[in-house]
Structure 1
């Protein structure tokens, strides 16, 4: 079988977000399953594209934004490998699906989020947002309806495209994200203590890792606020990420030397921080009616055999069973986050058991090979329909 993976993101250039890691793991998993994979990702590093992007401020907000989207679509359209015998085209966003609309092969679309809602979130001008939203929704509907089959990373996304675009439910599969269970794995307490020392902490420190971009929807500020309710001086919070909310979050953390901002850590290096940590905190919130899908950071924490504390929203509550393989807390509730942390600090046996259950669950259900096999089964089903 020959498969083309395509996206307007390029995971070989940017590999910080869950979508980027998802694509890299899928490619790796499919190749391991002996699928012939080629990729087509957007690359604005060539001179022509860089010149176009430099003109955006001159073109103006609304029209510049529209041009940016169509430059991506047209870039992919121009670079489709015509000579390559392809059986399945698998797009990872609606724009890349639009770019392959004229191709004859069966088409699969993976939706990692809500295209129209998530794109307007970063547009500051309210008037521009209101004018652009119907256009983005139109593109989203067009991309979804081109697909012969849609994969969503959580149930809410499936319900969304059924209700919003009347897409047939029997042509949608919910396939939660995958994780590299070889890289993200448990280690001994001795190795954990050595890592703490290597990163400048005391061996007896209790580390809470918050591996999140500092944007509103990730709710990092509520993790910081939770520290005000915990007096334990051995407790340290590491915030691994950067973004526009940093100054606001840092203001709340001011004066608490237990909270450490370490900036964005490349994905190839972040696994050591998971190994060092005792607890992983994912305090996401509902933002612009959008909830986080299957958090990759959550899965990586679970694969590392750690207790993961997550907000009880989106795809996270589809995976975490409260007090069995993780802990669910109400969103925007720093006191409840603090209570969950203290329960773990006071019950080492329970903490270890939850971590073990988390690792077992992820290895069984979310390893990148298991994920790739689920996707391959969808490809096979589509090709059998043609016979």
Structure 2
């Protein structure tokens, strides 16, 4: 049985898109007969859940933890993180004996994995979910073309060149790597997917919750996620007064929180307070209750390198849940949504166009069943984790075969 060791920034029991993609990959690989485990770095603790033991079992999955305390100013702290994770990976290799190391971005993980892989003579697959420097710009913690941005990019390039194979989650990232001189045959696209066992059944409306939120008789637009600036929620809020003139019974339901929350609340108060509800963050096991109240899920992301290159997970989950999806026409969305077929696309950054396209969508409910069916078929055929993970297998086998031939020589 092939043994794959996943090297991760953080994992369950934390809840994030990063964690859920990891969970889906590992669960699907186990179901296909692959033996898997994960190793997390010191940032597992920094995300708020301190590891209690060196090995934790969460949701049927095994995660080896790096429990070393790391501190110091940047970039010294980051180099210490790399060293601590590399040492932990080396320890796990000796006891767990994997066939392949599968490291997931950011680059710090890749650097640690590269160090451990070379020491142990194991092949390394490095998977990029987003470029770390672009994610920092999107989150407001970095600036494009700054020294830190440049250094992070160079570190990423070092890992990419050093790894035996590279995986990316979308065509946008693949194209960017090719433009950097990476051979196309070295790159595998493993797109974001949906665990149909978790998201395959559309949730029934929770009428009690609908009454509590004052949504009876409303056409509900919804967003569930983190409130970062690049999500474009300010553009969606700005569109609400324009949309209400055309559809006075429309209501916007925003579930989640994040850096932009207070600014968005102030904006909502000034433009359409009675038609916008902020729920705050809700427990993960209650998210479906809110999904069930939403008629149209709206993703108004702004145009920037991060959003143009990277495909998000949320629209796929919404399609699987039987929701109508409306989103900005950035590159990351165009890979997932065909305008007029699996959802609606509108120009990024334009409240006027957002209002116009949402008005059309709300007035064409007769077309919704066909759109929902087409979107679901797309998910089942092209974005189902049970089939998505099959793309890894030939890469693993090629790497294992190459390692074996090198040893024989």
With normalisation by structure 1, the TM-score equals: 0.88
Q: 1:50 to 1:227 in 2, by over 3 A?
A: farther
The counterpart of 1:161, out of the listed 157, 169, 177, is 177
Q: RMSD of aligned C-alpha atoms? A: 2.5
User: What is the alpha-carbon distance in structure 1 between the residues aligned to residue 200 and residue 290 of structure 2?
Assistant: 12
1:154/1:314 contact within 8 Å kept? no
Q: 1:125 to 1:331 in 2, by over 3 A?
A: closer
Q: 1:372 to 1:200 in 2, by over 3 A?
A: same
Give CA deviations for 1:140-178 in whole Å, capped at 9, x if unaligned: 1111112211111111211212223x2111111222101
| Residue number in structure 1 paired with 2:387 | 370
User: Structure 1 stretch 228-237 or stretch 288-297: which is displaced more?
Assistant: 288-297
User: Structure 1 stretch 320-329 or stretch 211-220: which is displaced more?
Assistant: 211-220
3-state SS in 1 of match to 2:348: coil
Q: 1:10 to 1:244 in 2, by over 3 A?
A: same
User: What is the alpha-carbon distance in structure 2 between the residues aligned to residue 292 and residue 341 of structure 1?
Assistant: 25
User: What is the alpha-carbon distance in structure 2 between the residues aligned to residue 158 and residue 98 of structure 1?
Assistant: 20
1:114/1:290 contact within 8 Å kept? no
| Residue number in structure 2 paired with 1:219 | 232
In structure 2, the gaps of 5 or more residues are 53-65
| Residue number in structure 1 paired with 2:112 | 99
1:292/1:316 contact within 8 Å kept? no
| Residue number in structure 2 paired with 1:60 | none
User: What is the alpha-carbon distance in structure 1 between the residues aligned to residue 136 and residue 343 of structure 2?
Assistant: 31
User: What is the alpha-carbon distance in structure 1 between the residues aligned to residue 309 and residue 292 of structure 2?
Assistant: 24
Q: 1:258 to 1:172 in 2, by over 3 A?
A: same
User: What is the alpha-carbon distance in structure 1 between the residues aligned to residue 381 and residue 307 of structure 2?
Assistant: 28
Higher relative contact order (CA 8 A, sep 6+): 1
Q: 1:304 to 1:295 in 2, by over 3 A?
A: same
Residue 39 (structure 1) shift? 0.8
| Residue number in structure 2 paired with 1:10 | 10
Residue 300 (structure 1) shift? 0.6
User: Structure 1 stretch 202-211 or stretch 74-83: which is displaced more?
Assistant: 202-211
Residue 186 (structure 1) shift? 4.5
User: What is the alpha-carbon distance in structure 2 between the residues aligned to residue 145 and residue 370 of structure 1?
Assistant: 28
Residue 194 (structure 1) shift? 2.8
3-state SS in 1 of match to 2:7: strand
| Residue number in structure 1 paired with 2:223 | 210
**Structure 1 residue 241 and structure 2 residue 256: aligned?**
yes
3-state SS in 1 of match to 2:166: strand
3-state SS in 1 of match to 2:256: coil
| Residue number in structure 1 paired with 2:101 | 89
Q: What are the within-5 Å matches in structure 2 for residues 242-321 of structure 1?
A: 242-254=257-269, 255-287=272-304, 291=308, 293-321=310-338
Q: 1:194 to 1:122 in 2, by over 3 A?
A: closer
User: What is the alpha-carbon distance in structure 2 between the residues aligned to residue 306 and residue 252 of structure 1?
Assistant: 27
With normalisation by structure 2, the TM-score equals: 0.83
**Structure 1 residue 152 and structure 2 residue 168: aligned?**
yes
3-state SS in 2 of match to 1:96: helix
Give CA deviations for 1:98-143 in whole Å, capped at 9, x if unaligned: 11224222211111111223235556687x9823223212211111
In structure 1, the gaps of 5 or more residues are 57-63
3-state SS in 2 of match to 1:211: strand
Residue 51 (structure 1) shift? 5.8
User: Structure 1 stretch 204-213 or stretch 87-96: which is displaced more?
Assistant: 204-213
Tell me the number of residue pairs that the alignment of Structure 1 and Structure 2 aligns.
372
User: What is the alpha-carbon distance in structure 2 between the residues aligned to residue 79 and residue 170 of structure 1?
Assistant: 31
User: What is the alpha-carbon distance in structure 1 between the residues aligned to residue 206 and residue 51 of structure 2?
Assistant: 46
Residue 264 (structure 1) shift? 2.6
User: What is the alpha-carbon distance in structure 2 between the residues aligned to residue 108 and residue 332 of structure 1?
Assistant: 37
1:195/1:276 contact within 8 Å kept? no
